Structure 1
């Protein structure tokens, strides 16, 4: 292969006059073949009289300088290739054109390719292996490459293989630090949730605590019955009822025997209903609803004061004043008696005081007479008592001499 005329052949100063370049020593480990690099064509040399002598300057071939020139992205293999190229360029400026043969150029290209191949293979196997392979290849390449690149490219320029124990310790520390950081982040992003949860726990705990304390205290003598208060009595004696209920004194409120209280109060027929209330710290309240008498029933022994259910409230030899006589037979038809009593309870108090007697044979034909008139009133059932009372009053004002008035219908009254 012939070189174009006028193109100087690059030559290293160490080759000497007409000497052949030394090939790099074969590495113990064979590297895979890679595509050959194409060397760019050199520019035509300027005439000797026009070319100014250049002062060789020592290039900064350290990795830091190369990284700074290339923006921090140059690897070890790139840096070696750049260092070899600068060394060859420096040798070509001091040689005369035409002194290097084709074999010299081929040897230079082969050495450059082998250095790049070994550097790339070492980089693929690991950072430390790549650094040592690149240095070994450049040192075995040629004397000129070693002289130029050797001082800058050394074992000290690259880190050695890491200690396994040290690497494991660093990994454990990094893992612990990552977990610590994750916990801190979780706590930072859950501050509001934890505050709400804490508030709810405090509220629920307070309620549960108060309830527990109240429950415990209620079963102690501190919250026990030391006084019984009977209210709502008229015909009955409150002190007599309190004496009968004295068995509950000293009993904690949750342990008050309701069945015992019921057994005592059912012995009094005047009691229609009752209600027991606890009033801490020491009072038991018994509210009594007495039966309301609605009329009297004539018997062979005298008169019986009864309520709407027919329960005898009191017995006397004379007729009690202020109560109408119920003529319905309780033994024959209890429904008729209850219908008459229900009518007495549904009518206004002013009209009830004027009724002299009341009777019924069925639930719907209740009749009664008045004390201040000879009029007989056909009332019907107990429905619409207030409206019927107003209708009756209007009819009696319109017809004061009427003997019979029918108000079974609350809308229409019939006289006669």
Structure 2
């Protein structure tokens, strides 16, 4: 409450009662002295009328002691009401709850975008995790069991024999195909140089094989053995096998001459390799080929074999009647 407005000043000299009124201490500032009492409090205290006071002063009827008593009574009444009617604990609790509610609303408003980003990130992570988990469970379940085995890349081998050797993998989930068992089964086929397994859901297992390339038949104690460039024996027969070039290699399979001859045979194009009937090698730098039409090819070492093969094909096409072709130096070939 505000401090009561001062009484209008008298045109005459102040009296002793006026000085006493001005000197009366006011303990605390309140609102205007104008108050309206309720029915329980009784009749309201009349407020002094400034005009009436002025008129009284003018008439000489002003009483300073009555004004001091009125102000003091109002202050004492306000103090009594402040003490007898304090703020209740319920109001304090409701105010604190309203404040917390408003604070939470502000926090939600300012963090809405970050919460949306977190929700999107965690939602994406959850979706990916669910997809991966579902895929793993499905892959290891009977839903993706092996029901068909396909052999690809077999040229000399019989694919049915390879499929039969892997029949124990039928019924196993694609993800649980035993690679060691497959390796053991395919080890019985010397013609297989390498292989790869490919799972094609839901039920197909593909075995891609690379066969060894036979370079010819070499004479052994009990007949003839067909070997590849690594010296692996692919087959053995008591007589020279048909279609396999005869290998005349100094030092046998483990020699440097054999290694060089094997690399030369692997570098030849398929159509040209099919025309070779004999391979002679006395050392790693002296490899000679004989073709089925009687032509002789001096090859030299295995170096630049791919380039030598290309030069040889052009020379044969350009000089079909020639009998000797020397490509040991592919930059200066000789035809005789």
Is the 2:139–2:173 Cα contact (8 Å) retained in structure 1? yes
Aligned to 2:65: 143
Distance in structure 2 (CA, Å) of the matches to 1:246 and 1:390? 44
Root mean square deviation, CA, Å: 3.7
After superposition, give the CA deviation of every residue in 1:33-75 in whole Å (9 maximum; x if it has no partner): xxxxxxxxxxxxxxxxxxxxxxxxxxxxxx7xxxxxxxxxxx3
2:298 pairs with 1:386 = no
- Of Structure 1 and Structure 2, the greater strand share is in 2
1:155 is matched with 77
Instruction: Confirm or deny that 1:277 pairs with 2:198.
Output: yes
Task: Structure 1 unaligned segments of length 5 or more: list them.
Answer: 1-62, 64-74, 129-140
Q: Contact 1:225–1:252 at 8 Å: present in 2 too?
A: yes
1:342 equivalent to 2:263? Answer yes
Whole-Å Cα distance in 1 between the matches of residues 252 and 309 of structure 2?
30
The alignment partner of 1:161 has SS state of: helix
The aligned counterpart of 2:93 is: 172
Q: How many Å separate the matches in 1 of 2:68 and 2:296?
A: 149
Q: Distance in 2 between matches of 1:404 and 1:219?
A: 61
| Deviation for aligned residue 1:392 | 3.7
CA contact (8 A) 1:337 1:359 kept: no
Equivalence for 2:107: 186
Instruction: Call closer, same or farther: CA 1:151–1:300 in 2, change over 3 Å.
Output: closer
Aligned length: 305
Give the 3-state SS of the residue equivalent to 1:306 in structure 2: strand
Cα pair 1:224 1:251 within 8 Å, conserved: yes
Q: Deviations over 1:277-330 (max 9, x none)?
A: 333333333233222222222345543322221222233455445443222246
Gaps of 5+ in 2: 32-62
- CA drift of 1:340 comes to 0.8
Secondary structure of the residue that 2:156 maps to in structure 1? coil
Show the counterpart of 2:178: 257
For normalisation by structure 2, the TM-score amounts to 0.73
Structure 2 residue 22 is matched with structure 1 residue 112: yes
Match of 1:309 in 2: 230
**Residues 293, 306 of structure 1: 8 Å contact kept:** yes
For residues 227 and 104 of structure 2, the distance between their equivalents in structure 1, rounded to whole angstroms, comes to 82
**Paired residue for 1:135?**
none
TM-score (norm 1): 0.61
Confirm or deny: 8 A CA contact 1:391 1:407 kept in the other structure.
Answer: no
Question: Match of 1:69?
Answer: none
Q: Secondary structure at the match of 1:233?
A: coil
Offset at residue 378 of structure 1 (A): 3.3
Shift of 1:266: 0.5
* Aligned counterpart, 2:42: none
Shift of 1:406: 4.5
**2:159 counterpart residue number:** 238
1:353/1:252 Cα in 2 relative to 1: closer, same or farther (>3 Å)? Answer: closer
Gap change, CA 1:254 and 1:163, over 3 Å in 2: farther
Query: In 1, are the aligned partners of 2:24 and 2:68 still within 8 Å (CA)?
Result: no
Residues 148-157 or 270-279, more deviating = 148-157
| Matching residue within 324, 331, 334 for 1:411 | 331
Structure 1 413/161 Cα, relative in aligned 2: closer, same or farther at 3 Å?
farther
SS at match of 2:82: coil
Is this contact kept in 2: 1:296–1:324, CA < 8 A?
Answer: yes
**Per the alignment, do residues 394 and 210 of structure 1 end up closer, same or farther by CA in structure 2, a change over 3 Å counting?**
closer
**Residue 177 of structure 1: CA displacement?**
1.8
What do residues 134-167 of structure 1 show as CA deviations (whole Å, max 9, x unaligned)? Answer: xxxxxxx94242477579767369962375671x
Contact in 2 for aligned 1:392/1:407 (Cα 8 Å): no
The equivalent residue for 1:208 is 129
